[in-house]
Structures are given as structure tokens and as C-alpha cells.
């Protein structure tokens, strides 16, 4: 099956700890994205990557970091510098920038 996966589905962390969210795709897409979604809100772009070893900040990159060492993988680290990390995190990929984006199932992060 081709698709995009995120793990884990639910994640709980203590305040002050860094946490890494996984995103993998086997669609052979060049572009990948991370969004944050808060209740009753739209999606806000955290980071995106057009190609391997390249990534750009989105609207709300502060407190987050990413890497793109492989085409299939785009992990997101939520650092202790992120003031309000509890949210639903969505990863997406597309063939190229501005192409149709396919979303993963999301990871719900709760910081206690």
C-alpha cells in the first residue's frame, strides 16, 4: 500500500522534554510538510521540505526542528522551547511544491 504514516498516534510527554514525531511516506514524493492543528482551527505550517537535505521554516517554526536525510522520512522534533506544544500534528507530502498534498493520520501530542 502506498501512503503516508505517522507514529505514534498518541504521545504524552512531560513539560521540558524534547519529543520527536515520525513521518514516513512511500509515495516517492519530493516535498514533505508538517502542520499543527489546534481545536477549531485550520492548519498552520511549521516546516516544509522541497527535497532531501533541504527544508524551510513555515509560519510557526519557533520551538520546532526538522531533518530530511532521506526522501521517505521527515521527522519533527518538538523542543522544550515550544511554549504551547499540546496539539494535533499532521504530516503531508506532495509530488512537488504546490501539488496536491496527501496527509498522514496525525499524532496527538499532549504535554503534561
Partner 1 sequence: GESVGLHLPTLSVQEGDNSIINCAYSNSASDYFIWYKQESGKGPQFIIDIRSNMDKRQGQRVTVLLNKTVKHLSLQIAATQPGDSAVYFCAETLRGAGSYQLTFGKGTKLSVIP
Q: Residue numbers of the site for partner 1 (CB under 8 A)?
A: 6, 33, 40-45, 48, 50, 56, 58-59, 90, 92, 97-98, 100-106, 108
- Smallest distance, partner 1 to C-beta of residue 56, A: 8
For partner 1, the closer CB: 72 or 103: 103
- Smallest distance, partner 1 to C-beta of residue 77, A: 20
Residue closest to 88 by CA, chosen among 42, 26, 27, 24: 42
For the chain, helix (H) and strand (E) counts, in that order, are 0, 11
Residue closest to 20 by CA, chosen among 96, 77, 65: 77
Amino acid at each position: 500500500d502506498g501512503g503516508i504514516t505517522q507514529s505514534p498516534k498518541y504521545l504524552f510527554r512531560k513539560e521540558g522534554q524534547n519529543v520527536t514525531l515520525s513521518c514516513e511516506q512511500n509515495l516517492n514524493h519530493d516535498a514533505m510538510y508538517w502542520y499543527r492543528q489546534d481545536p477549531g482551527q485550520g492548519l498552520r505550517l511549521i516546516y516544509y521540505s522541497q527535497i532531501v537535505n533541504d527544508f524551510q521554516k513555515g509560519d510557526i517554526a519557533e520551538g520546532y526542528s526538522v531533518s530530511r536525510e532521506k526522501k521517505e522520512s521527515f521527522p519533527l522534533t518538538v523542543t522544550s522551547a515550544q511554549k504551547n506544544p499540546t496539539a494535533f500534528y499532521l504530516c503531508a507530502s506532495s509530488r512537488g511544491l504546490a501539488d496536491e498534498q496527501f496527509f498522514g493520520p496525525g499524532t496527538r501530542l499532549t504535554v503534561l
